[in-house]
Chain A
């Protein structure tokens, strides 16, 4: 089994209990020889193989990873492999953008009768990995904290809503909307329709509980935060039925949260604010300036034609033009700045788990240390957990004190969701959540 350079690759195979593991067993009982470089880890079903395990394998020194389960239609649990297939489609796109070497991540379907195929697969992967050499993605670049690369930096746009020196039309419209918003809040509170109005204040979110305090609400160019993240906070829930100020883009979170049974739409009064853009990167290709499902909408956006799909993901282009090693170096430098303050998670309206995977410490699911491994594990987990769910509000990026461009990970997954499944989170209340569903016709050309 020795190669020319003496390098023996370590291959981790995550296999399902019912098909591939039995296929491996068959290969053994049939006395089929295959390289001993593979470490097989048996799991109940491919549907139960956390993407985090792939990352974990590379953390502990694997040179290649194989994930293998039952052929479509053969799943012991009916559809575990279909769910897995969809998840892996998006996960592959994520790893690609981060710059992992995709030649080292393999997917196959191997049935209990395919001992021969197991033998061939392991032999091929071993040979291929041997030729590629050892893989140490976390040592790939000693980038450390680097001064910024202008090529990858995103510039800020102009504030559409900024009060012009002589009071332009935009500023006047803002002023009118603000007055109307305050009137609405006061009315809802004095009628008793809601107990609290969650809105924007002079220097951050405010929670208005008395009609006479409605003047604390503002509507201006700094109302770019997505307030729907407060709907999960128990301290806010304890206040009673809320009215919440949402822009058209924030509303996507409401739609997505309702689809995931996190909010009862009837228990929330949404005050939609038509928006002309807040000058944020997310505003450049926005096609949801006018709220669509609000209980009441204030103002009207001069609805611009929806920009072409490509524009939504244009920020990815400079990154995608780089070779994988450069992308990995870019993310290494980004993640090396991570403090693990979890601002990205806490501000996210879609991160609502009562106890996050990262906080599970018996045993520790993800290294809590802000080391390179720990940071990669965290950010890849965070991103994939938001795959097909992120509504693109960019709060994670805005909240990051270290200026990590998390937006690009979310964009990459959003692009994958849109191009592969025609799905955009929170756009259509009728569509099934992407990651909760599967289709028999999901593409699987990457599966051997």
Chain B
């Protein structure tokens, strides 16, 4: 099918939910807050009225809390409890191109020297139905990192809002076709791309040569060291492993972690090699624009602007790198 009405789409979502699939889509949780959340019912799915949700769909692949395995102790017997080998089917609906593009970027780090089973299980079970952007705000900068309002990278299918209550459907992969059929709808109602705001190559070369520059300290002064940027970023993927339990049972779990916390780099000795916030902000820019591209060939940023939207003090990737000398787009 090339065209779906809103009602038809909701009906499909309702069927997927009824079939036991985890469906994630934008939900208005507060008058001013839209989040990607597990849809309890198709009616919660919000298909317009927002630029982008305050979080991302990475949670489908890398949940904020994921049990890796558990243990049970009874008398002298210790039993390890493995997680199920297959993940339930999950579908992201209404992701933007900046969410979908995160998946192939994340695939690289989770399949590099170690093939992360938990991640790959979820990845294989996930289908991404993207909604091309009909608008953008001043925090958006996808064009600066090689994407755009109708970029297809990472999507299994893409929907175009025609503005008349109907979507053009374009299936891109087997997974997409399995859910939405063979649609090859034409692009429609796509926003003009936001202007390029900086040149990532310049950011990388500045980073490479200015590790000890006062720039980082000066521009990170306002940073309060929370993890709002990293936790709402579609591609930030650092995690911590914790053991939680007691003498009878417990779990080893993986939780999100963020380079902006002092605890992230704190050594057991008490020494902290990244002792100041400037160094932590620098790390974030380094990882995204220099280290990750050098290792994996991808910029670790999809230009969604969530970091800036969620930062309580107006920082974020764009506000920071835009201040890098000569970073203006070519």
Mark A residues whose CB is within 8 Å of B: 60, 144-148, 150, 153, 155-156, 201, 203-207, 225, 229-230, 233-236, 337, 339-343, 345-347, 359, 361, 364, 367-371, 374, 395, 398-399, 401-403, 405
Least CB distance from A381 to B in Å reads 16
Looking at A146, A345, A364, A368, the one whose CB has the most chain B CB atoms below 10 A away is A368
Q: Is the CB of A403 within 8 A of B276?
A: no
Checking A153, A203, A342, A395 against B314 with a beta-carbon cut-off of 8 angstroms, the contacting residue is A203
Closest 6 CB pairs between A and B?
A204-B314, A403-B33, A399-B312, A145-B37, A403-B30, A346-B226
Instruction: Verify A146–B40 contact, CB threshold 8 A.
Output: yes
**CB-based nearest B residue for A234:** B276
Contact, CB under 8 Å: B222 / A207: yes
Rounded to whole angstroms, the CA-CA distance of A229 and B312 in the bound complex is 12
Smallest distance from the beta carbon of A242 to chain B beta carbons, Å?
A: 12
Chain B residues closer than 8 Å to A225, beta-carbon distance? 312-313
Q: How many angstroms between the C-alpha atoms of A402 and B312 in the bound complex? A: 12
- Asked if B225 contacts A346 (CB within 8 A), the reply is yes
Cβ-defined contact, A339 with B38, below 8 A: no
- Counting chain A CB atoms within 10 Å of each CB, the highest count among B31, B35, B227, B312 belongs to B312
* Min distance, Cβ B308 to any Cβ of chain A, angstroms: 9
With A233-B277, A395-B312 already in contact, the answer to whether A359 and B263 are too (CB < 8 A) is yes
Contact (Cβ within 8 A) A340 B30: no
Q: Tell me, in angstroms, the Cα distance from A118 to B276 when the chains sit together.
A: 53
Q: Is the CB of A156 within 8 A of B276?
A: no
A291 to B92, CA, bound (A): 50
Find chain B residues with CB under 8 A from A369 CB.
65, 242, 244, 253, 255
Q: Mark B1-31, 1 if CB is under 8 A from A, else 0.
A: 0000000000000000000000000011111
With A207-B222, A235-B276, A370-B64 as known contacts, state yes or no: A147 contacts B27, CB within 8 Å. Answer: yes
CB pair B29–A347 under 8 Å, yes or no, is no
- Contact residues in B for A371 (Cβ distance below 8 Å): 65
Report B175-193 CB contacts with A as 1/0, cut-off 8 Å. Answer: 0000000000000000000
Total A-B pairs in contact (CB under 8 Å)? Answer: 138
A359 to B227, CA, bound (A): 13
B62-84 interface mask toward A, CB cutoff 8 Å, 1 = contact, 0 = none? Answer: 00110000000000000000000
Q: Does B315 contact A (CB under 8 A)?
A: yes
Measured between C-beta atoms, what is the minimum distance from A350 to chain B in Å? 13
**Does any Cβ of A come within 8 Å of B240's Cβ?**
yes
Interface centre among A150, A235, A359, A395 (most CB of B within 10 A): A235
Nearest B residue to A239, CB-CB: B221
Who on chain B is nearest to A236 by CB?
A: B221
Q: Indicate if the CB atoms of A401 and B28 lie closer than 8 Å.
A: no
Let me know if B255 and A229 touch, CB within 8 A.
no
Could you tell me the distance between the alpha carbons of A403 and B310 in the complex, rounded to whole angstroms?
10
Tell me the interface secondary structure of chain A in the complex.
Answer: loop
B residues near A367, Cβ cutoff 8 Å: 244
B contact residues vs A (CB 8 Å cutoff): 27-33, 35, 37-38, 40, 44, 54-55, 64-65, 217, 220-222, 224-228, 230-232, 240, 242, 244, 246, 253, 255-256, 258, 261, 263, 276-278, 310-315, 319
Closest to A356 in B: B263
Bound Cα distance A405, B33 (Å): 11
A145 pairs with B65, CB closer than 8 A: no
- Cβ-closest chain B residue relative to A152: B30
Contact residues in B for A343 (Cβ distance below 8 Å): 224, 226-228, 310, 312
Rounded to whole Å, the gap between the CB of A348 and the closest CB of chain B is 9
Q: Do residues A235 and B27 form an inter-chain contact, with CB atoms below 8 A?
A: no
Task: Please tell me if the beta carbons of B35 and A337 are within 8 angstroms of each other in the complex.
Answer: yes
In the bound assembly, the distance between CA atoms of A144 and B40 in angstroms comes to: 8
The distance from the CB of B257 to the nearest CB of chain A, in whole angstroms, is 9
Residue in B65, B226, B313 whose CB lies within 8 Å of A205: B313
Residue of B nearest to A373 (CB): B244
- A203, A236, A339, A401: the one contacting B256 at CB < 8 Å is A339
Is there contact, CB below 8 Å, between A347 and B224? yes
Give the distance in Å from the alpha carbon of A150 to the alpha carbon of B32 in the complex.
12
Question: How far, in angstroms, from A340 to B226 measured CA to CA in the complex?
Answer: 9
Checking B226, B231, B255 against A399 with a beta-carbon cut-off of 8 angstroms, the contacting residue is: B226
B266 to chain A, nearest CB (A): 9
